[in-house]
Amino acid sequence: MVRMSAEERRESVIRAAMVEFARGGYNGTSTEVIAKRVGVSQPYLFRLFPGKRAIFLAASERCCQEVTEVFRKASEGLDGQEALQAMGAAYQALIADDPDMLLMQMQMYVAVASAEASGDREFGDALRAGWMEMYDTVRLALGADVDETTQFLAYGMLVNVLVSMGFQPDHRVWSGFYEAVQPKG
């Protein structure tokens, strides 16, 4: 049996946490269930991370990084409408292939809003930084056009809402989207 390094275990925890937090949210997910998914004890989990908050932040930061990387790769060597459509199609594929990625994003927004409502601004600072990296990646791919970036991300949020609410690909709500982001049936 090959033993994993602490870094490999840490990576396993982040991956497991992304799934568990995506499905249960910050408040509805215990560190026990994350430890169980990874196959480690809770005390070992807390040797890798100081607490649940740190695990959630690591999972959220990873989620932002992965979405950003999807946009970066999709737009590489493209600009304008070509970049926009490539990023839209790549994002649609990402959330179709990995629905937990969409759920994790939605849980991040809820967790930050909840923390802000209780006066904890610090919680969202790291997540806002990750989100801003994604924003800047899209903005640069679209020629630093703020209006195009805003419109692209606004459509993306609408895609998130419609997909998370289960609107089927043939539903009329999708008819106003450019073809690259319409879900495939």
Phi-psi map region of 180: left, alpha, beta (phi>0 left; psi -120 to 50 alpha): alpha
Which pLDDT value is given to residue 126?
86
User: How many CB atoms are located within 10 Å of the residue 94 CB?
Assistant: 18
Which pLDDT value is given to residue 182?
67
Spatial separation of the C-alpha atoms in residues 127 and 65, rounded to whole Å: 10
∠ CA(100), CA(121), CA(108), 5° rounding? 5
Report the chain (185 residues): mean pLDDT per 10 consecutive residues: 78 96 96 95 93 96 96 95 92 91 96 94 90 96 93 92 89 80 67
Spatial separation of the C-alpha atoms in residues 134 and 129, rounded to whole Å: 9
Which pLDDT value is given to residue 32?
96
Cα 3 off chain centre by:
30
Which pLDDT value is given to residue 56?
97
Query: Is 31:44 a contact under the CB 8 Å cutoff?
Result: no
Which pLDDT value is given to residue 53?
95
The maximal CA–CA distance of the chain, rounded, in angstroms, is: 54
Q: What does pTM read for this prediction?
A: 0.90
